[in-house]
Amino acid sequence: MSAPLLQLTEVTKSFGGIHALSAVTSGVPEGKIVGIIGPNGAGKTTLFNVITGAYRADSGAVRLNGTALNGLPPHRIAREGIARTFQNIRLFPSMTVWEHLLVAQPHGESWWRRLLPVGWGDPAAQVRAEEVMEFFGLTGLRDRPAKSLPYGLQRRVEMARALTARPKLLLLDEPVAGMNHDEAEEVRQLMLKLRATGVTILLIEHDMNFVMRLCDYLYVLDFGVLIAEGTPGEVRTNPRVLDAYLGKDE
Amino acid sequence: MSTYYASLFAEAGILLLGALSVYIILATGQLSLGNAAFMAIGAYLSSYLTVAIGMPVTPALIVSAIAAGIIGVIVGFPALRLKGIYLAMATLGFGEMMRSFFINFPAMGGSGGFHGMAHISVGYIWAWAGGILAVLILVERSRVWLEMQAVHDDETAAGLVGLNTVAIKVSAFGIGAAVAAISGGLFAHHHVYIEPANFGFERSIDFVLATILGGSTLGLGSLIGAILLVFLPEFLRPIADWRLAAFGTLLILVLLLRRQGIVDRMLLRGLTFRKAAS
C-alpha cells in the first residue's frame, strides 16, 4: 500500500496497567473500505477514540494525508476531514433530521453568516443537507425528531450527519449492530455507493459475514495488538485469527 | 397607562432581559445561578458612566454590556470544567462574591447604594427588551443556534462533527452576561437608585424561574415567563396574604403539567399548523 490516507505509526495507549493499544501500525488507503475486527475488549473503539482525539495516544503518530493529528482537539481533527459514528448511537435529542444535517456542515463559513436565519444566508448549507438526506433516503423524514425514528433509521441519520461535512475518512463503529440481515444489506449497499463517491471508510464490526463481504482490507486486533492483516480471504484462513476468536488448543 | 401598570411593565421588561441572559447560557447546557452579578456590573457601571462622566444612557448601556461580556467570558472558562449542579453552585458563589464586592466598594456608595441617575421611560426599556428578543428569535433560526443546541444535547458528539465546544460555551456566557448587564443598566435608570441588595441570589433565581416557567427552549418562553412572574402576583392581590402561596402552587402545577415550560417548539408548530388548516 503506497501513501495511505490515514497512517498510524506505533500507536500506544494504556489505561493504568492495561495496554489498550500496543504499538499499532496500520494504514488506510484512499478510496478503500478497511475493517478492524477482533474479540470484545481488543481495543477497537479505543483506536477510534485515539484517531478522533477523544483520547490522546501515549506514543506513536496518527497522520491524515501526512498531517499529524496527535494532540489536536476533536473539533480540529473533524475539520481535517475525519467523521465518525458511535457504537451506541449519539444523536442530538432536541433536533430533527434536517437540523442534524445543518449543524454538521463543513466549517468554511464566517460566524456572522452562520448567525443569520438558515433560510436567509446559507443556500450552500441547505443544498448540501438536501443532497445527503436524499443519499441516505431520509428526505421524507426531514422534520421528524431524529430520536423518534426506528433504530435502523437513527443509524442512518448518524451516518448522514457524519457525511455532511464531506469527510475524507469516515469511521463507523459497528454500523450494523442490532440490525437484521436485510437492514445490514442496505447499509452494505450504501457503503459501496459511498466508496464509489471517493469516501474512504474505516469500520469496526462484529458481523463477520458483513465484514468479509464488504471490506477491501482487514486488520485484526487482539488485546491491543495487531495480530493479522490482509484481504478478507487471507484473514479468514490465518491461524492466529482463528486462535483469537476460537481459543487455542492446549 | 397608570404609573402602577407602567412600573409593572418596566419590571417585566427588565426581568425579560434577565431571563434571556439565563436562557442564552442554558441553551449550551450551562445553568447559571449568578446572573444577578452581571446585572449588578451593568447597573453600577452604566450608572457611573451617566452620573459621574455624563455619558448618555444608550452608549453607557453598550459600554457596560461589553465590559460585562468580557467578564462573562472570563467566568466562562473555569465554568467549562464544571457541569450541572456543580456549575450552578459555582455561579451562585460568583453572584454572592460580586454582591459583597459592591457592598465593600465605597466609590459607588457601598451598602448605602448609589443614586443620581436620570429616569428612563417604559418605552425605552421595552425598546431594548423587545429589540434583543427580536434579534434572539432570528438567531434561534440560525446555524449558530443549532450548534449551541448540539453542545447542549451531546458535547462529545458536537466536538466530533467539528464544533468548537469551548468557544461556543464561553461565548454563550459572554453574550448572556452582556444581556444581563443591559437588564441591570435599565434597572438602575428606572429605579434611579441601586444598592447591592438589589442584585442578590433572589434576583438570579427570578431569572431562572422566568426562563423555566415560560419555556427554556425558546426565547419567547422568557417573555411569557417574565410577564407571568411580574403580573400574576399582582392579579392575585385580592386573596391578600395567600397570593404568594397561590403563585407558588401555580408554579408547581405548570412545572408538573409542562416540564418543558409553557411554550416549546411543538406547541408553536401546533398553533401555526392549526392556523394554516383553518
- State pLDDT tens for residues A176-226: 988 888 889 999 999 999 999 999 999 998 888 889 999 999 999 988 889
* Domain presence at residue B226: no
Query: Considering the domain boundaries, does residue B272 fall inside one?
Result: no
Tell me the pairing of strands A33-37 and A59-64. Answer: unpaired
CB contact under 8 A, A103 and B139: no
Determine the Cα–Cα distance for residues A214 and A188; give it in Å rounded to an integer.
7
Number of residues that this document lists for chain B: 278
**3-state SS string over B196-221?**
HHHHCHHHHHHHHHHHHHHCCCCHHH
Q: Which residue has the cell 471490506?
A: A215
Show residues of chain B in contact with A94, CB under 8 Å: 149, 152-153, 217
Mean pLDDT of A85-103: 93
Cα–Cα dist B225/A161, whole Å: 35
For B89-113, the pLDDT digits (tens) are 999 999 999 999 999 999 899 989 9
Residue to substitute from B161, B165, B216, B217, interface A, most A β-carbons within 10 A:
B161
Q: Is the pLDDT at A1 greater than 70, yes or no?
A: no
Of B143, B165, B166, the CB nearest to A122: B143
Mutate to test the interface with B, among A50, A75, A102 (most CBs of B within 10 A): A75
Residue B29 lies in a domain: yes
Domains held by chain B: number: 1
DSSP conformation class of A145: B
Q: B150–A86: do the CB atoms touch at under 8 Å? A: no
Interface check for B275 against chain A (CB to CB < 8 A): the answer is no
Give yes or no for residue B275 having a pLDDT over 70.
Answer: no
Residues of chain A contacting residue B156, judged by C-beta atoms under 8 Å apart? 54, 74, 90
If pLDDT is split at 50, 70 and 90, which confidence band does A117 have? Answer: confident
Residue A159 is which amino acid? M
The answer to whether the Cβ–Cβ distance between A78 and B160 falls below 8 Å is yes
Pick B248 or B15 by higher pLDDT: B15
Q: Which residue, A228, A203, A227, is CA-closest to A216?
A: A203
**Burial (Cβ within 10 Å: 0-12, 13-18, ≥19) of residue B167:** middle
The distance from CA A95 to its chain's CA centroid, rounded to whole angstroms, is 22
**B267 CA to chain A: closest CA distance, Å?**
14
Q: Which secondary structure element, helix H or strand E, spans residue A19, and what is its range?
A: strand A18-28
Shortest Cα distance from A125 to chain B (angstroms)?
A: 9
List Cβ neighbours of A81 (8 Å cut-off, separation of 6 or more).
Answer: A64, A65, A166, A167, A168, A169
| B198 pLDDT more than 60 | yes
Say what the alpha-carbon torsion angle A163, A111, A119, A82 is, to the nearest 10 degrees.
Answer: 0
User: Which residue range(s) make up the domain with B88?
Assistant: 3-211
SS3 B95: helix
What's the confidence (pLDDT) of residue B2?
A: 82
Is pLDDT of A67 > 50? yes
Write out the three cell numbers for A201.
471508510
Residue B39 lies in a domain: yes
Backbone angles phi, psi at A24, to 5 degrees: -80, 120
Best CA proximity match to A156, nearest among A169, A140, A33: A140
CB contact under 8 A, B146 and A99: yes
- The CA distances from residue A140 to A91, A97, A101, A188, A224, in Å, are 18, 10, 14, 22, 43
Confidence at residue B268, expressed as pLDDT on a 0 to 100 scale: 78
Which residues in chain A touch residue B144, judged by CB atoms under 8 angstroms apart? 111, 114-115
Q: Express as a percent the part of chain A with pLDDT over 90.
A: 54
Nearest to B154 among A84, A92, A102 (CB): A92
Q: Work out whether strand B193-194 and strand B114-115 pair parallel, antiparallel, or are unpaired.
A: antiparallel
Burial of A248 (0-12, 13-18, 19+ CB in 10 A): exposed
DSSP H or E stretch at residue A61: strand A59-64
Which stretches within chain B are classed as H helix?
3-26, 35-51, 57-79, 84-103, 122-139, 143-153, 155-160, 165-191, 201-214, 219-235, 243-257, 265-277
Instruction: Check residue A2 and give its pLDDT.
Output: 58
Q: Is A73 close to B159, i.e. CB distance below 8 A? A: yes
**Would you say residue A81 has pLDDT above 50?**
yes
Q: How far apart are CA A169 and CA A107, in angstroms?
A: 16
Q: Identify whether B174 is part of a domain.
A: yes
Q: How far is A47 from chain B (nearest CA, A)?
A: 15
**pTM listed for this prediction:** 0.91
Query: Among A3-12, B40-49, B115-124, B126-135, where is mean pLDDT lowest?
Result: A3-12
The whole-number pLDDT of residue A121 equals 66
Taking the alpha carbons at both ends of chain B, their separation in whole angstroms is 36
H or E element in which residue B194 lies: strand B193-194
Average pLDDT, chain B: 92
Q: Flag if A79 and B162 touch (Cβ within 8 Å).
A: yes
With CA atoms as reference, report the closest residue to A49 among A27, A23, A69: A69
Element (H, E) at B115: strand B114-115
User: What's the whole-number mean pLDDT along residues B168-196?
Assistant: 97
β-sheet bridge partners, residue A18: A15
Residue B278 lies in a domain: no
For residues B13 and B9, give the distance between their C-alpha atoms in angstroms, rounded to a whole number: 6
* Residue B240 counted as domain residue: no
Residue of B nearest to A73 (CA): B159
Residue B223 lies in a domain: no
ipTM: 0.89
